[in-house]
Amino acid sequence: MNRRKLNLELYNDEAAIQRGEPGIVHSYMRGLATAMQAIGDKNGPAWWMGSSGFAFRIWASDTLCPSAMSMFEFNRILPQAIEQMGYTPIYTSRLWDEPKLELERRMTAHSQIIEAVERGVPAVVWDLSDAEWGVITGYDDGRDVYITLDNDGNVSTLPYERLGQNGVDILAVTIPGEPTNQDSEEVIRRSIEIAIGHASQEEWADRPDYQNGLFGYDLWALVYERWGLLIEAGRMKKSGIPIHEYSKYYAAHFYSARCYAREYLNMIKNHDPDLSNAATLYAQVADQLRLLWTEAPDTLTPKRSLIDDFTQRLQNAKSLEMEAVEAMKMYLGVHA
């Protein structure tokens, strides 16, 4: 019986953590960073987050439900991230409304996972635990299980037959393939196009319950406004929603992302005035979001003044990001 396990830990951006920032938080990107580290990619987290567009994305639900972080078009965005990082994507998916493809796609993905592990690369897989991405780092044919790392870094196993059916009936397996040696200037241009397109809601979201792009800030702020009103009315504890936990989850994701937007733009600006302006503006966006993460409340009923401050900071962040998007549009216009 064949068995192999890669000696890997889930990726941590230690430099960001030393700066007092979250590091990579989005579970897909953290899994992909783990794969990038395993194959020896030297570009680093700012490039991975920025080139893929994840540094510039935002999703929100009308209850701050964590499901927003997966509310996008998997078949477009997941392989695109790997392409932008400079590798051919190996990608297999099946959605909940494609039951006839379940066995075929699961077997295809299984073969891809085994091949990847054999060449020392973990597979980034949807819903290994708690509707988050994780990585498959090994397999054991004797027990018919994969060896997995979830988004908290916990080692576990997943039966082969539960691939794509571990709670959420969706299969999504993404693996970096061979380097493409693509032109870095073209990658940069596409990343800016991705950022602008997302800000304008050109990427799919399940609206109106979810919003993305600049409108994501509006919905996020609206949830805080409602939270403040419920606190004032003494009704928050009856809501049944752990909004304080969701609040910190969102703040970690998007403060993290905007820190990488700042770092990526500083990396690629090369004295360009428009990208330099965008980098400065994203640094200010990150500054607005930082307190939402560091001061995220541990109770359903924090002081109303704190929630009002959070709401104002989100409105400020949106205004600053609008300016940053306009600066990036100027860059594309100059470099058309």
For residue range 289-335, list pLDDT tens digits in order. Answer: 999 999 999 999 999 999 999 999 999 999 999 999 999 999 998 77
Question: What is the distance between the alpha carbons of residues 120 and 35, in angstroms, rounded to a whole number?
Answer: 9
DSSP letter, residue 105: H
Domain count, the chain: 2
52, part of any domain: no
pTM for this one? 0.96
Quick one: pLDDT at residue 336?
60
232: Cβ–Cβ under 8 A, 6 or more apart, which residues? 304
Q: Cα 34 to the chain's mean position, in Å?
A: 14
Q: What local confidence, expressed as pLDDT, does residue 234 receive?
A: 87
Q: Which of 179, 210, 236 is the last residue of a domain?
A: 179
Residue 146, domain member (yes or no): yes
Domain assignment of residue 64, yes or no: no
**Parallel, antiparallel or unpaired: strands 59-61 and 145-149:** unpaired
Shared domain check, 25 and 92: yes
CA 256, 259, 263, 269 dihedral sign is positive
What does the pLDDT read at residue 213?
98
Residue 111 has a CB neighbour count (10 Å cut-off) of 10
Residue 237: burial class (beta carbons within 10 Å; 0-12, 13-18, 19+): exposed
> How far lies 241's CA from each of 118, 173, 244, 300, 333, in Å?
44, 31, 9, 9, 45
Query: For residue 264, what are the domain limits?
Result: 185-334
Confidence of residue 126 (pLDDT cuts 50, 70, 90): very high
Classify residue 103: in a domain, yes or no: yes
Residue 146's pLDDT band (boundaries 50, 70, 90)?
A: very high
Q: What is the mean pLDDT of residues 136-154?
A: 97
Residue 286 shares a structural domain with residue 191: yes
- Please indicate, yes or no, whether residues 149 and 215 belong to a single structural domain of this protein: no
150 and 212, same domain (yes or no)? no
d(CA 65, CA 50): 25
Q: Has residue 212 been placed in a domain?
A: yes
Residue 128 lies in a domain: yes
Q: Which residue has the tokens 């979001």?
A: 289
Instruction: Pinpoint the alpha helices (H) of the chain.
Output: 14-18, 27-38, 45-52, 74-85, 102-118, 184-199, 214-233, 243-268, 273-294, 304-334
Is-cis flag, bond preceding 273, omega within 30? Answer: no
Where residue 44 falls among pLDDT bands split at 50, 70, 90?
very high
Let me know if residue 63 belongs to a domain: no
Domain end residue (candidates: 144, 162, 179) = 179
Same domain membership, residue 300 and residue 189:
yes
Average pLDDT of the chain? 96
Cβ atoms of residues 133 and 151 within 8 Å: yes
Is 254 found in the same domain as 214? yes
Q: Which two tokens stand for residue 213?
A: 């792009």
Residue 25, pLDDT score = 98
Predicted pLDDT of residue 238: 72
The answer to whether residues 70 and 131 touch, using CB atoms and an 8 Å cutoff, is: yes
